[in-house]
């Protein structure tokens, strides 16, 4: 229970004890009646174990709408592609940058999932904004930076914008971030909770408050956090309530996996796990499946189409038609999807 409510009830109890004892008579009468009915009259003949009593007393009914999805992807061919693009664009394009562009062009296809809830109704957005969580203050604090209109920006623009924003955050030169952080440092914990809830809600419905450094849709349509530098190969991150974001993507640390090829020779491939945490109010099973399929397809597209001739792909599909994952690709309009992602990733 919130500290403000606890203090309120304690204060009212003390006040009524000295000024109006009728409150305590009514309260204790109802409490005694409730105890007698629930613990005596309605008690089962089978006694609860202490463990069960503790769990009933400490847990409430589940209400969290978060769902979790994991994708294990082969990025062996993605790495040389990013290196090539980095050389061409003269900027360092990382898997995080690739994922920002990836999620932007996929979410843009599904306006029913990247909107926001306002006054109990779903409202679509016109643009796809992607938020990245950044470590600041020697890694002890987290800050956020949001890239606007990611679906129309190329790798070079996204990289430069992200790097500039991160540099300002880490040097504490971001004016809006400083306004928020200074105010939150000043507020005590029991006031900080309501303050964050109110300001986050205001931002989530598209309202800015410049004096507080608050921007509309501060956390965008998708939050991305990368834990690759921590060496963690598999982990999920929850959606922080203050973000009001429908989707959070955790990029884990890439690792090497060895396997035998068709000639029984040992080969290696680089694996990356992308773990999705989604809000079920936005993502039902149908559209979540479509997005996961699109992510898988793009990686399939880069690993095969961009490095192997189309005839070899068709032969590969025919040989592996019994594979469940390959069946998914056969359901798609092969050539149109190639064209769609080729155009978007060249932007």
How does pLDDT run across 245-275, given as a tens digit for each residue?
999 999 999 989 888 877 888 888 888 899 9
Structure confidence at residue 58 as a pLDDT band (50, 70, 90): low
Both 49 and 122 in a single domain? Answer: no
| 162 shares its domain with 265 | yes
For residue 50, pLDDT beyond 70: no
User: What torsion, rounded to 10 degrees, do the Cα atoms 153, 155, 158, 160 define?
Assistant: -130
- Residue 307 clears pLDDT 50, i.e. is over it: no
Question: Which pLDDT score is estimated for 3?
Answer: 67
How far is 187 from 179, CA to CA, in rounded Å? 13
State the pTM of this model: 0.74
- In a domain, residue 74? The reply is yes
Give dist(CA 272, CA 252) in Å, integer: 7
- The helix (run of H) or strand (run of E) holding residue 45 is none
Confidence of residue 48 (pLDDT cuts 50, 70, 90): low
In 20-94, which residue ranges form alpha helices assigned H by DSSP?
22-36, 50-58, 78-89
203 and 155 assigned to the same domain: yes
- One domain, residues 17 and 73: no
Query: Is 126 exposed, middle or buried (CB count within 10 Å of its CB: 0-12, 13-18, 19+)?
Result: exposed
* Residue 87, both tokens: 């050389």
* Pair 147, 21 in one domain: no
Residue 33 is part of which domain span?
Answer: 3-58
End-to-end CA distance of the chain, in Å? 50
Share of the chain above pLDDT 70, in %: 77
Identify the sign of the CA torsion 264, 266, 272, 277: positive
Looking at every residue in the chain, the average pLDDT score rounds to 79
Q: Which of 157-166, 180-189, 233-242 has the lowest mean pLDDT?
A: 180-189
Residue 145 sits in the same domain as residue 167:
yes
- 314, 326, 339 from 272: Cα distances, Å: 26, 19, 25
Alpha-carbon distance of 317 to 211, in angstroms, equals 58
Assign residue 270 the CATH number of its domain: 3.30.559.10
Is there a domain that residue 179 lies in? yes
**Residue 238 in domain:** yes
DSSP run (H or E) holding 325 = helix 324-331
CA distance 227 to 102: 18
234 or 48, greater pLDDT: 234
Residue 326 has pLDDT above 50, yes or no: no
> What's the total number of domains in the chain?
2
Helix H or strand E segment including 170: helix 155-170
The residue-averaged pLDDT of 320-326 equals: 49
What's residue 146's pLDDT?
Answer: 92
Among 249, 278, 293, the domain-final residue is 293
Taking residues 302-325, what's their average pLDDT?
53
Same-domain pairing of 187 and 41: no
pLDDT of residue 331: 43
| Residue where the block lists tokens 């880069």 | 302
Q: Is the pLDDT of residue 52 over 80?
A: no
Strand partners, 96: none
The answer to whether position 330 is within a domain reads no
């Amino acid at each position: 229970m919130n500290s403000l409510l606890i203090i309120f009830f304690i204060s009212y109890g003390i006040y009524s004890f000295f000024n109006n004892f009728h409150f305590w008579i009514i309260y204790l009468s109802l409490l005694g009646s409730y105890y007698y009915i629930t613990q005596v009259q309605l008690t089962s003949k089978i006694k609860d174990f202490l463990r069960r009593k503790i769990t009933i007393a400490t847990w409430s009914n589940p209400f969290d709408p978060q769902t979790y999805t994991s994708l294990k992807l082969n990025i062996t061919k993605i790495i040389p592609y990013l290196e090539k693009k980095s050389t061409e664009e003269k900027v360092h394009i990382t898997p995080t940058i690739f994922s920002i562009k990836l999620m932007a062009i996929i979410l843009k296809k599904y306006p029913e999932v990247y909107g926001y809830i306002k006054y109990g109704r779903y409202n679509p957005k016109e643009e796809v904004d992607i938020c990245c969580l950044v470590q600041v203050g020697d890694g002890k604090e987290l800050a956020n930076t949001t890239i606007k209109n990611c679906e129309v920006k190329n790798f070079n623009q996204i990289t430069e914008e992200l790097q500039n924003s991160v540099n300002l955050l880490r040097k504490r030169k971001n004016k809006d971030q400083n306004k928020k952080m200074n105010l939150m440092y000043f507020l005590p914990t029991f006031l900080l909770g309501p303050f964050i809830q109110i300001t986050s809600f205001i931002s989530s419905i598209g309202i800015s408050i410049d004096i507080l450094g608050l921007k509309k849709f501060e956390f965008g349509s998708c939050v991305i956090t990368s834990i690759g530098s921590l060496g963690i190969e598999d982990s999920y991150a929850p959606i922080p309530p203050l973000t009001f974001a429908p989707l959070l993507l955790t990029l884990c640390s890439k690792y090497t996996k060895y396997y035998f090829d068709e000639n029984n020779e040992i080969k290696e491939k680089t694996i990356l796990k992308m773990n999705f945490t989604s809000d079920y109010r936005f993502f039902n099973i149908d559209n979540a499946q479509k997005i996961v399929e699109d992510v898988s397809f793009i990686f399939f597209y880069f690993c095969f189409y961009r490095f192997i001739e189309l005839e070899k792909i068709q032969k590969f599909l025919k040989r592996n038609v019994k594979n469940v994952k390959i069946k998914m690709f056969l359901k798609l309009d092969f050539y149109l999807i190639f064209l769609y992602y080729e155009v978007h990733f060249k932007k």
